[in-house]
Structure 1
């Protein structure tokens, strides 16, 4: 058995530019679906046929986080262009956020950013030594007034591989609705949990009619999801921080499904990270008092060797889109299905011309027996 550690280069593959989906399909459920069965067989299907691939009684867990229009465009008092990407609100006095800023050289501590409609941001602190350098910024609008302003003046924080030559604020952007799941509820993400973008109301109804149970979790996707892994040694990578919550009601649904030996499927890697982060804490201190509480996670799941398989707490299958080369998401998929299996899945998806990344096609991966 090969015990050579996997490194970053082992997760490199050639992704043709024409396979990177730049726009969503006209029909949310019109995407293709690549099914990996537990025995390793691959099947080509369509997302609209998803109920046929989920046994009656399946518990489908999904991330109900809502994307904020948290990309803010502004200028210095002297007219220089500035941009902020909000990451997460901070507790304490005033209305403050963690944010990415560019160009950083124009954003010293104490500087101000003039935003639309009289909103002003002030750089309170710079965190240069962090794995992902960020700012603490305060705003002259409080809480709900700020969220109302952001919905009118903010921009949808699309991934850098989706080109939009003429940026439009959220109300005018065609991405406002399509870069949001139909079940988005808890505001706080800077990127969509994209495996859920394929669901529409018709599919949700079809799943219920097929006897599929659904339950939400919440994980607010952080800006670090756009950052590549840069260290060749995977154990040297510092994962970005995200906030999650698992409700007592969803926890009870998971326990029922486990007791009744029904399959559980996670919609997206963010749902899986929420579940596994909760499970790790639960093993340390028990579930009592953990549910319904916001927690932070920097969980990084990856295979250390080609033969490694990660056994998750609850799920038997994962729905997920096709991910970037050398990304932590690709490594997570490899940990669940196995490194060689991941390579086979991606070779097949590339050969068959599947659309990749956020607005692309999707897969249903049943975990190995």
Structure 2
């Protein structure tokens, strides 16, 4: 299958640069994955499509201030690090800019006497293994030195960093937000629970690889990035019981989907598990756990639009996206939402 099969035209003006003032103000496009039918609405309408016994699976990861701006210790010239993956207490895999200036042995300063670093290894991918030297508690030092990294297509300043966090975020470790969850408020989640919808929490720490374009001509040749996940006992118990009773498993976001499908692929019983996943879901994949998906609109030719197409069919998805463009929905991280489901079941 060609990467170009997942291209669509998107006017730049439809890329949302800032979040809505009210999380519930986003629009909602409902897509019937069986027929391709679409229904326009607003996000609170999600209550119409959920019912007692459904399990809503959320990713409780929290975005860390993973963007560090400092200077090279020898020349005092600017340097930027983006934290991608924590290796141990002192070491991170990072993306460095300008990369050609951050060679092995090069030292950097972010807060003099409080946070310094040295490049220990340049990986084949171009990423760097950085050893950090810091005084105090790492999380507190990082909060002081770092900023929240926004996706590369967002050029506006974010006034309130909490708008790039879900209201249920708590497990710090992501370089990007699980943006489908940005539409929920605590009040809406409480309403859904009062309706009898169960909520299961898992964790997948989102890496910046989620924004990496697919450069391979055929999608099968793309090398998927890896991300760390945790599928705890509480979520396992809820989902195993719901599956045994034939109830719907509704994933909030592609990150929750990737976690659930990783666990189900490794263990049909879906017992608690954690580790790294490189699962790449594209058309032809048979879903083992997820029935329905709440998600945002994704970049053309991205692994995320491929995942959505695996669930709803490429033609259905591209037709829905064409409709969303014509109706001027807002796209990407701060944009509007879709609910992909079988409206007959």
Q: TM-score range by the shorter chain?
A: over 0.9
Contact 2:34 2:312 in 1 (8 A): no
Instruction: Select the residue among 79, 83, 86 that pairs with 1:82.
Output: 79
Contact 1:156 1:175 in 2 (8 A): no
Contact 1:217 1:246 in 2 (8 A): yes
Q: What residue is the counterpart of 2:98 in the other structure? A: 103
Secondary structure of 1:115's counterpart equals strand
Alignment of 1:91-170 (within 5 A): 91=88, 95-117=90-112, 118-127=114-123, 129-130=124-125, 133-141=126-134, 145-164=137-156
Pairing 1:276–2:261 present: yes
Secondary structure of 1:140's counterpart equals strand
Q: What residue is the counterpart of 1:299 in the other structure? A: 279
Q: CA offset at residue 192 of structure 1? A: 0.2
Q: What residue is the counterpart of 1:340 in the other structure? A: 315
Give the whole-Å Cα distance in 2 for the aligned partners of 1:39 and 1:112. 56
Contact 2:149 2:175 in 1 (8 A): yes
Contact 2:297 2:335 in 1 (8 A): yes
Instruction: Select the residue among 18, 22, 25 that pairs with 2:20.
Output: 25
4+ long deviations beyond 6 Å: none
How many equivalent pairs are there? Answer: 341
Evaluate the alpha carbon distance shift between residue 367 and residue 244 of structure 1 in structure 2; reply closer, same or farther with a 3 A threshold. farther
Q: What residue is the counterpart of 1:205 in the other structure? A: 190
Evaluate the alpha carbon distance shift between residue 164 and residue 121 of structure 1 in structure 2; reply closer, same or farther with a 3 A threshold. farther
Structure 2: state its 5+ residue gaps. Answer: none
What is the Cα-based RMSD across aligned positions, in Å?
Answer: 1.6
CA shift digits 1:134-160 (9 cap, x unpaired): 111011127x71210111221111000
Secondary structure of 2:209's counterpart equals helix
Instruction: Select the residue among 303, 307, 331 that pairs with 1:356.
Output: 331
Give the whole-Å Cα distance in 1 for the aligned partners of 2:210 and 2:230. 18
Contact 2:296 2:335 in 1 (8 A): yes
TM-score (norm 1): 0.89
Contact 1:74 1:82 in 2 (8 A): yes
Q: CA offset at residue 121 of structure 1? A: 1.1
Q: CA offset at residue 79 of structure 1? A: 1.5
